[in-house]
Structure formats: C-alpha cells, structure tokens
Amino acid sequence: MRIVTSATATVVAVAMLGLAGCAGAGPNEQAGTLLGAIAGGLAGAQFGKGGGRDVMIGVGALLGGAIGGNVGRSMDAVDRQLMAQETEHALNEVPSNQTTQWRNPDNGHAGTITPRNTTEPRPGIYCREYQQTVTIGGQTEQAYGTACRQPDGSWKIQG
C-alpha cells in the first residue's frame, strides 16, 4: 500500500476543488466529475516518479474529472438505473473477462461492464476489479475500478 504524501494530497485536493466549483453543475455532473477525478488520479499515479508522479496524479484528476462531468451531465435517471442494475448483475454473476451490456432504448445511451480479477483482501471480504464503458452520442468513455461486496450484499466502489 502506498502512503499518500502531503504533496500528492495537495495536488489532488486542488484539482478536485477546481472541478467541484463549476457553477451550475447538476448532481449527475458533480457525481461524474468526482468519480472521473478519482479514476483519473488513480490512473495518473501509475506514471512518473517522485514529484513527477504527483503532477501526473493532478493531470489525471483534472482530465478524468472533465470527462466524467460530461458523461454525468448527459446521463438521465433511466441510464443510471440500467447501468447500476447491469453492474450489480456483472459483479455478482458474470465470470471474469466476460462483458455484459446495457442500453437505454429511449435515447440510445449504452454501456458495458467487464468484471476482471476477484480478490479476497480480508477473510470473507470479496472485491472485483472491473472495466466499464459508457457511450453517449457516439462518444465512448472508459473507467476502471474495484468494488467490494458489503455485508448486505451490495457492492461499494473503492476510492
């Protein structure tokens, strides 16, 4: 486990505050921005060393937040419900590396969920890595993450 330095935390905090302060952002856009910033920051952490790594985390958070905000702004309640149902199904029942799909027939928005590795970080706690896409207006965005099963059976995305 990597310990987050104060410089890294500062870079991510500044990036996220800048993104969160967008005037007029609705709840979908705010959620998309936040999730995109987290995913982008995690992706950025894979590149660079030392101070360069901190910069890449900040750049990743900014780019991820911008992309996530656009996706969140464009998704409606039916899109989110379809995506949530298919994600739950994929994490519970779909074998690793098999892709499932959802599609909103009213607006053509669609997405995929591909569960990857399953781990047991602690006895009785199961987590699954996944890859997810969302296609809106012909534009496809990708996200990667890990979700862990909660005691009530639901899945929680790990930050």
Identify whether 1 is part of a domain. Answer: no
What is the reported pLDDT for 37? 61
Task: List beta partners, residue 149.
Answer: 155
Mean pLDDT of the chain: 73
What is the reported pLDDT for 158? 86
Q: Give the number of domains in the chain.
A: 2
Same domain, 51 and 92: no
User: Higher model confidence: residue 131 or residue 26?
Assistant: 131
The pLDDT-based confidence of 114 (bands split at 50, 70, 90) is very high
Report how far residue 95's alpha carbon sits from residue 111's, in angstroms, rounded to the nearest whole number. Answer: 18
**pTM of the entire predicted model:** 0.56
- Of 57, 74, 91, the one marking the end of a domain is 74
Name 117's Cβ contacts closer than 8 Å, sequence gap at least 6.
96, 128, 129
- Of 39, 56, 74, the one marking the end of a domain is 74
Same domain, 42 and 67: yes
Task: List beta partners, residue 100.
Answer: 113
Report how far residue 32's alpha carbon sits from residue 76's, in angstroms, rounded to the nearest whole number. Answer: 12
